[in-house]
Amino acid sequence: MPESGAELRVKRLRAALESGRLAPVQRLLSSLNPAEVASLLASLPTRERNLVWDMVDAADNGEVLLHLPEEVRDELIQQMDTAELVAAAEDMEIDDLADFLDSLPETVTRQVMRALSDADRARLETVMVHDPATAGGLMNTDTVTVRPDVALEVVMRYLRKRSELPLHTDALFVVDRYGVYLGTLSLERILTSDPEQLVQKVMDRELEALPVSLPAREVARRFQTSDLVSAPVVDDQHHRLVGRITVDDVVDVIRAEAERNLLSMAGLDDLEDLFAPVLRATRRRAVWLGLNLCTAFLAARVVGMFEATLEQIIALAILMPIVASMGGIAANQIVALMVRGIALGQVGSGNTGALLRKELAVALFNGLLWGATVAAVTWWWFDSPMLALVIGLALLLNLLLAATAGLLVPLGLRRLGADPALAGSMVVTTITDVMGFFLFLGLGTLILL
């Protein structure tokens, strides 16, 4: 598979830095857009990252910072002085600025606020009162509104006078004189309709506005199910228009959620920077390893309960990792399915029972198949039909247990408000490990001694 453009850029850039030639670096940087520069910075070790960051065009600083992973952004912000930070904030859109201010030290925030116009400050404050993980936190307040009782002709004259619209404006919003949202007037409609028509005749009343408190995840789902490019946001009580959300911000939500699911199944924070400082990365991973060490000692404790059995039948010690490992693999498959299902809103109390029946049936068939296989190999290896029976039975039981735990634990965790991906794989694997050893050694003690 050939390397992608982004990877080749990293290679070229680091080669140039190594040989001390800065002109090619400068040329490369000026050929990239801010998001590409951000991705490039995220691919670099800290020292080189700082070097390249100093070479980024100051006018792009704000945009580049916004596209960086949070941890990298915070790191670079710490090296900028107040004047640079205020300058970087100046060109941002209001919703982006609200995110950005969250990363800044208090003193700089105040300076940035002072540098804003009164109107912008008021708009910023509107956005900042909302939870970032809701429609209110995602929205921008730069909506263009029209009244229902004017002719398209008038709207067109107005637009021409403005001579510019906010980024990603594909529609104007129609509001009454109290600001209550009535409908949407797409630019396409304006251009394809008779100019003498009234706005209320051609506007789209079907496009529902999003309540300002709608969770970001739900916003993303609405955009996906209705193929939206932008959507109006209204306050919860009076249905008054307060802003709009554009698809580019929603794409970020979708990507971030997917990343979070992937990383948290491995016990990682979604902030994790590729080149996080060694001590910080160590500390973060250490928590997960430490928790796992506790569960590993728990498993060892269970094995220790059967010390007398192991002393008599050493074959049990040799074979015991198999049952635990197969249980862990089966459980992780189901946890992954459940994490996806929960993210898509396709799994919940409405179908838990039916899913459990299906997964238990799958586990039963796979348990019979692989239990028999394991038993056959064991019989051949250790020439003991009873040992073969023990391991085959233990494997079957552990797969059934893996199905039950893999399905119910993520759902239970979510109901408790915990992240099903993060805690799920840990809890479920602990169960299949501990029970894998217990079932195998317990059955061994019962049947073989």
Nearest distance from C-beta of residue 429 to its own copies, angstroms: 9
- Asked if 234 contacts 214 with a C-beta cutoff of 8 angstroms, the reply is no
Nearest distance from C-beta of residue 155 to its own copies, angstroms: 9
Nearest distance from C-beta of residue 233 to its own copies, angstroms: 18
Q: Please identify, using beta-carbon distances, which residue of 310 and 448 lies nearer to its own copies.
A: 310
Q: Please identify, using beta-carbon distances, which residue of 104 and 183 lies nearer to its own copies.
A: 183
Contacts within 8 Å (CB) and 24+ apart, 73-81: 73/103, 74/103, 75/46, 75/273, 76/41, 76/49, 76/50, 77/103, 77/104, 79/50, 79/53
CA atoms within 13 A on the CB side of 449: 16
Nearest distance from C-beta of residue 58 to its own copies, angstroms: 20
Q: Please identify, using beta-carbon distances, which residue of 138 and 339 lies nearer to its own copies.
A: 339
Nearest distance from C-beta of residue 441 to its own copies, angstroms: 10
Nearest distance from C-beta of residue 194 to its own copies, angstroms: 7
Q: Please identify, using beta-carbon distances, which residue of 242 and 250 lies nearer to its own copies.
A: 250
Q: Which amino acid is at 295?
A: T
Nearest to 399 by CA among 369, 355, 377, 443: 369
Contacts within 8 Å (CB) and 24+ apart, 160-168: 166/93, 166/140, 166/142, 167/93, 167/246, 168/229, 168/230, 168/246, 168/247, 168/248
* Cα Rg of the chain (Å, integer): 29
Nearest distance from C-beta of residue 390 to its own copies, angstroms: 14
Write the burial class of residue 69 (CB in 10 Å: 0-12 exposed, 13-18 middle, 19+ buried).
buried
Nearest distance from C-beta of residue 177 to its own copies, angstroms: 24
Q: Please identify, using beta-carbon distances, which residue of 112 and 359 lies nearer to its own copies.
A: 359
What is the per-residue DSSP string for 102-116?
HHS-HHHHHHHHHHS
Nearest distance from C-beta of residue 160 to its own copies, angstroms: 6
Nearest distance from C-beta of residue 118 to its own copies, angstroms: 26
Residue listed under structure tokens 């039950």: 404
Q: Please identify, using beta-carbon distances, which residue of 42 and 65 lies nearer to its own copies.
A: 42
β-sheet bridge partners, residue 181: 175
Q: Please identify, using beta-carbon distances, which residue of 137 and 267 lies nearer to its own copies.
A: 267
Q: Please identify, using beta-carbon distances, which residue of 9 and 130 lies nearer to its own copies.
A: 9
Nearest distance from C-beta of residue 83 to its own copies, angstroms: 28
Q: Please identify, using beta-carbon distances, which residue of 172 and 233 lies nearer to its own copies.
A: 172
Rounded Cα distance, 148 and 173, in Å: 10
Q: Please identify, using beta-carbon distances, which residue of 242 and 319 lies nearer to its own copies.
A: 319
Rounded Cα distance, 441 and 314, in Å: 11
Residues 6+ apart with CB under 8 A from 345: 221
Q: Please identify, using beta-carbon distances, which residue of 325 and 384 lies nearer to its own copies.
A: 325
Please tell me the total number of residues recorded for the chain in this structure: 449
Rounded Cα distance, 247 and 250, in Å: 5
Rounded Cα distance, 139 and 253, in Å: 12
Nearest to 343 by CA among 253, 229, 405: 253
